[in-house]
Amino acid sequence: GSEMCIRDSSRLNYSKEGKADIARALELAPKSVEALTAMAESEYRDRNYSEAITHYKAALDIDPIQPKAQAKLGLAYLFTDRRQDAAQRLQLAIKYGNDDPEIFKRLGYLDKEMGQRSQAREAFKKFLEKAEEKGDVPSATKREVLNQISLLN
Protein backbone atom coordinates (compact mmCIF):
# COMPACT_ATOMS: atom_id res chain seq x y z
CA GLY A 1 0.00 0.00 0.00
CA SER A 2 0.94 3.65 0.05
CA GLU A 3 2.37 3.45 3.58
CA MET A 4 4.88 0.80 2.55
CA CYS A 5 5.83 2.80 -0.49
CA ILE A 6 6.51 5.82 1.70
CA ARG A 7 8.34 4.11 4.50
CA ASP A 8 10.84 2.99 1.89
CA SER A 9 11.09 6.50 0.43
CA SER A 10 14.26 7.14 2.41
CA ARG A 11 15.88 4.37 0.38
CA LEU A 12 14.42 5.42 -2.96
CA ASN A 13 16.97 6.50 -5.46
CA TYR A 14 15.81 10.03 -5.99
CA SER A 15 15.35 9.57 -9.66
CA LYS A 16 12.27 10.36 -11.69
CA GLU A 17 10.98 6.88 -10.78
CA GLY A 18 11.38 7.59 -7.08
CA LYS A 19 9.49 10.87 -7.41
CA ALA A 20 6.79 9.09 -9.44
CA ASP A 21 6.40 6.52 -6.63
CA ILE A 22 5.93 9.33 -4.12
CA ALA A 23 3.42 11.06 -6.44
CA ARG A 24 1.45 7.80 -6.74
CA ALA A 25 1.42 7.42 -2.96
CA LEU A 26 0.15 11.00 -2.66
CA GLU A 27 -2.66 10.23 -5.11
CA LEU A 28 -3.68 7.24 -3.00
CA ALA A 29 -3.34 9.09 0.31
CA PRO A 30 -3.35 12.88 -0.26
CA LYS A 31 -3.38 13.55 3.50
CA SER A 32 -0.50 11.19 4.25
CA VAL A 33 2.08 13.13 6.28
CA GLU A 34 4.73 10.63 5.17
CA ALA A 35 3.90 11.07 1.46
CA LEU A 36 3.70 14.87 1.73
CA THR A 37 7.01 15.00 3.60
CA ALA A 38 8.68 12.62 1.13
CA MET A 39 7.54 14.81 -1.78
CA ALA A 40 8.70 17.95 0.04
CA GLU A 41 12.12 16.40 0.62
CA SER A 42 12.36 15.35 -3.02
CA GLU A 43 11.48 18.87 -4.20
CA TYR A 44 13.89 20.39 -1.66
CA ARG A 45 16.71 18.17 -2.90
CA ASP A 46 15.93 19.27 -6.48
CA ARG A 47 16.03 22.91 -5.26
CA ASN A 48 12.36 23.40 -6.17
CA TYR A 49 11.90 25.38 -2.97
CA SER A 50 8.42 26.79 -3.67
CA GLU A 51 7.12 23.25 -4.33
CA ALA A 52 8.94 21.98 -1.23
CA ILE A 53 7.31 24.76 0.82
CA THR A 54 3.85 23.77 -0.43
CA HIS A 55 4.32 20.11 0.53
CA TYR A 56 6.07 20.77 3.86
CA LYS A 57 3.28 23.19 4.85
CA ALA A 58 0.61 20.63 3.95
CA ALA A 59 2.36 17.95 6.02
CA LEU A 60 2.95 20.31 8.95
CA ASP A 61 -0.67 21.51 8.91
CA ILE A 62 -1.62 17.91 9.65
CA ASP A 63 1.20 17.15 12.11
CA PRO A 64 3.24 20.17 13.21
CA ILE A 65 5.47 18.26 15.62
CA GLN A 66 8.06 17.26 13.03
CA PRO A 67 11.32 18.96 14.00
CA LYS A 68 13.23 17.99 10.84
CA ALA A 69 10.44 19.05 8.47
CA GLN A 70 10.02 22.35 10.35
CA ALA A 71 13.75 23.01 9.92
CA LYS A 72 13.72 22.12 6.21
CA LEU A 73 10.70 24.36 5.67
CA GLY A 74 12.59 27.14 7.45
CA LEU A 75 15.58 26.65 5.15
CA ALA A 76 13.34 26.55 2.07
CA TYR A 77 11.88 29.89 3.19
CA LEU A 78 15.41 31.20 3.71
CA PHE A 79 16.40 30.17 0.17
CA THR A 80 13.36 32.02 -1.19
CA ASP A 81 14.16 35.20 0.81
CA ARG A 82 11.21 34.87 3.19
CA ARG A 83 13.24 35.73 6.29
CA GLN A 84 10.42 36.16 8.82
CA ASP A 85 8.81 32.84 7.80
CA ALA A 86 12.23 31.17 7.91
CA ALA A 87 12.92 32.40 11.45
CA GLN A 88 9.47 31.31 12.62
CA ARG A 89 9.90 27.76 11.26
CA LEU A 90 13.45 27.40 12.61
CA GLN A 91 12.13 28.44 16.04
CA LEU A 92 9.37 25.80 15.75
CA ALA A 93 11.95 23.18 14.78
CA ILE A 94 13.87 23.99 17.96
CA LYS A 95 10.68 24.07 20.06
CA TYR A 96 9.82 20.57 18.81
CA GLY A 97 13.24 19.19 19.69
CA ASN A 98 15.53 19.69 16.70
CA ASP A 99 18.91 20.53 18.22
CA ASP A 100 21.06 20.50 15.09
CA PRO A 101 23.70 23.21 15.63
CA GLU A 102 23.23 24.44 12.05
CA ILE A 103 19.67 25.57 12.85
CA PHE A 104 20.90 27.78 15.69
CA LYS A 105 23.60 29.27 13.46
CA ARG A 106 21.11 30.05 10.66
CA LEU A 107 18.69 31.52 13.18
CA GLY A 108 21.49 33.67 14.60
CA TYR A 109 22.25 35.12 11.18
CA LEU A 110 18.54 35.65 10.45
CA ASP A 111 17.97 37.42 13.76
CA LYS A 112 21.06 39.56 13.15
CA GLU A 113 19.82 40.53 9.66
CA MET A 114 16.42 41.44 11.11
CA GLY A 115 18.07 43.65 13.76
CA GLN A 116 17.28 41.37 16.70
CA ARG A 117 20.72 41.51 18.25
CA SER A 118 20.04 39.88 21.63
CA GLN A 119 18.12 37.01 19.99
CA ALA A 120 20.96 36.59 17.50
CA ARG A 121 23.50 36.47 20.32
CA GLU A 122 21.42 33.83 22.14
CA ALA A 123 21.07 31.71 18.99
CA PHE A 124 24.82 31.88 18.34
CA LYS A 125 25.58 30.91 21.96
CA LYS A 126 23.17 28.00 21.66
CA PHE A 127 24.96 26.98 18.44
CA LEU A 128 28.27 26.80 20.34
CA GLU A 129 26.66 24.74 23.10
CA LYS A 130 25.09 22.28 20.64
CA ALA A 131 28.28 22.15 18.54
CA GLU A 132 30.21 21.16 21.67
CA GLU A 133 27.68 18.39 22.44
CA LYS A 134 27.77 17.12 18.86
CA GLY A 135 31.55 17.30 18.64
CA ASP A 136 31.86 17.24 14.83
CA VAL A 137 31.51 20.94 14.02
CA PRO A 138 34.66 22.38 12.37
CA SER A 139 36.65 24.77 14.56
CA ALA A 140 36.58 27.36 11.75
CA THR A 141 32.78 27.42 12.01
CA LYS A 142 32.99 27.86 15.78
CA ARG A 143 35.46 30.75 15.33
CA GLU A 144 33.12 32.36 12.77
CA VAL A 145 30.25 32.22 15.29
CA LEU A 146 32.42 33.50 18.15
CA ASN A 147 33.31 36.41 15.91
CA GLN A 148 29.60 37.07 15.27
CA ILE A 149 28.93 37.10 19.02
CA SER A 150 31.72 39.62 19.59
CA LEU A 151 30.29 41.85 16.83
CA LEU A 152 26.91 41.76 18.59
CA ASN A 153 28.29 42.74 22.01
Task: List pLDDT tens digits, range 4-14.
Answer: 344 444 444 45
Angle between helices 67-79 and 49-62 (to 10 degrees): 150
pTM for the full predicted model: 0.82
Side chain identity at residue 74, one-letter code: G
CB 59 within 8 A of CB 30: no
Task: List pLDDT tens digits, range 14-40.
Answer: 556 788 899 998 899 889 999 999 999
